[in-house]
Chains A and B, each alone.
Chain A
Amino acid sequence: MTSRINSLLVIATRISTAVIFAGTLAACSTPAPPPQLERARQAYESAAAEPDIEKYGSVPLYEAKQELDRANKVWASSEDADQATHIANLAEKRVEIARTIAAGGKARAEVKKLVGSGDQVMLEAREKELAELKAKRTEGGMVLTLGGDVLFKTGSSTVTSGAQVELGRVAAFLNGNPDREVVVSGHTDNTGGAELNQTLSEKRAASVGSYLSSQGVAASRIATRGFGASLPTAPNDNVAGRQQNRRVDIVILDAGEKASEHVLAKP
């Protein structure tokens, strides 16, 4: 009985010694890793989870990961806490660099987008300006019709002060859009001689053209022509119709269209 108890005691002692020994061994061989390793890992993980950093900072983030791996390797192979902490610090700084680069990349992409939307604004602004001029879209450009009675006194080809406001807006539009050229066409009703009407329509178109030119639109961008009574838009047998036929059409050509070619192409 005693011997049994003794042998049990011996076993128990052996077991506890073994346990203590194992514990000591474990404590010796695996000291706690320096906290900076974990901090750097967390910094990396949270950065890696951000879509912007993945999109714009993948390379510097990869470099941060390499540094982090190096820190872990140093710790695993040498248990040099100082060196592992140092490299983990570098890794954490590299995560910050990746964040900064990603923020810059994102801003750069936004600038590109803004430049695009700037073009869009220009386009919208042009369309709006043209809409304000009550110009109608036709083939090759936007046509704006000004009543002859508004532009000129009867029989005269000098632009009235009232017309100058309207023409000033056309000039402003052309000055703001230097890639657009303009064709000015004069028309009359059928009262009076054909030759007189032809001359009057040419003079009126030229007068509108020179007014635009006086407002800063290069003469090379302006073409003028007269059609006399040949292109009525209403019957000439009543006052209202004749009034409608006495007009000047201003065609603001689409970008790239040449005014000189339009005059030559059509009679």
Chain B
Amino acid sequence: MFEKRNSALCPLVLCVLFVATACSSVSPPTTQIATAEAAIRQAESVGAVEAAALSMRVAREKLDEAKALVDSGENDHMSRAKRLAEDATVEAQLAEQTARTAAVTKARDEAQGTIDAMREEAGLDAN
């Protein structure tokens, strides 16, 4: 039922969209680009450049591409720029969390090592 209504609406929607895109200039995804930049900075601040090098590189490349598309000023590039900026944001967020998790995992392993050493030094059975 949903589909049927849609199929009926579809041409109308397309027309409206077509007219809308044809007549107005599409605004650049400024917010999305700012969000991506902030996400990348945040990830960098927790050492993601080392801990999640690939994700950080992908995020930066996508952001750069998004910016280049915005700079081109062409309306039909804007939706792609927006998607790229959104992709860059989640990629940077993943990098940030990867770095955070790597740090706490390292701390965990070190704590385990310290306790093993303490046990050994004290001549206690491994536990």
Contacts and interface: CB of A to CB of B under 8 A. Distances in A.
A94 B86 CA distance: 12
Q: Is the interface of A mostly helix, strand, loop or mixed?
A: helix
A100 B105 contact: no
Contact of B108 (A25, A77, A94, A107): A107
Interface in B86-118: 86-87, 90-91, 93-94, 97-98, 100-101, 104-105, 107-108, 111-112, 114-115, 118
Nearest to B117: A121
A66 interface: no
B101 A103 contact: yes
B123 A77 contact: no
Interface string A21-37: 00001001110000000
Interface in A46-76: 76
A108 B103 CA distance: 10
Nearest to B97: A100
Contact of B118 (A28, A78, A104, A125): A125
Interface string A104-145: 100110110011011001101100110000000000000000
Given A79-B6, A104-B101, A97 B86 contact: no
B107 A128 contact: no
Nearest to B17: A78
B101 A128 contact: no
Contacts of A89: 87
A57 to B, nearest CB: 10
B97 A107 contact: no
A117 B115 contact: yes
Contacts of B18: none
B83 A93 contact: no
Contacts of B108: 107-108, 110-111, 114
A43 interface: no
A146 interface: no
B121 to A, nearest CB: 8
A29 B3 contact: yes
Interface residues of A, number: 33
Given A93-B94, A125-B122, A101 B6 contact: no
Interface in B1-53: 2-4, 6-7, 10, 13
B118 A115 contact: no
Given A104-B104, A121-B122, A94 B115 contact: no
Nearest to B113: A114
B101 A100 contact: yes
B84 to A, nearest CB: 10
A78 B86 CA distance: 20
A30 B3 contact: yes
B2 A76 contact: yes
Given A28-B7, A76-B2, A93-B91, A124 B124 contact: yes
Interface of B: 2-4, 6-7, 10, 13, 83, 86-87, 90-91, 93-94, 97-98, 100-101, 104-105, 107-108, 111-112, 114-115, 118-119, 121-124, 127
28 contacts: A29-B4, A89-B87, A90-B86, A90-B90, A93-B87, A93-B94, A97-B90, A97-B94, A100-B98, A101-B101, A103-B101, A104-B100, A104-B101, A104-B104, A108-B104, A111-B107, A111-B108, A111-B111, A114-B115, A117-B127, A118-B115, A121-B115, A121-B118, A121-B119, A121-B124, A125-B118, A125-B121, A129-B122
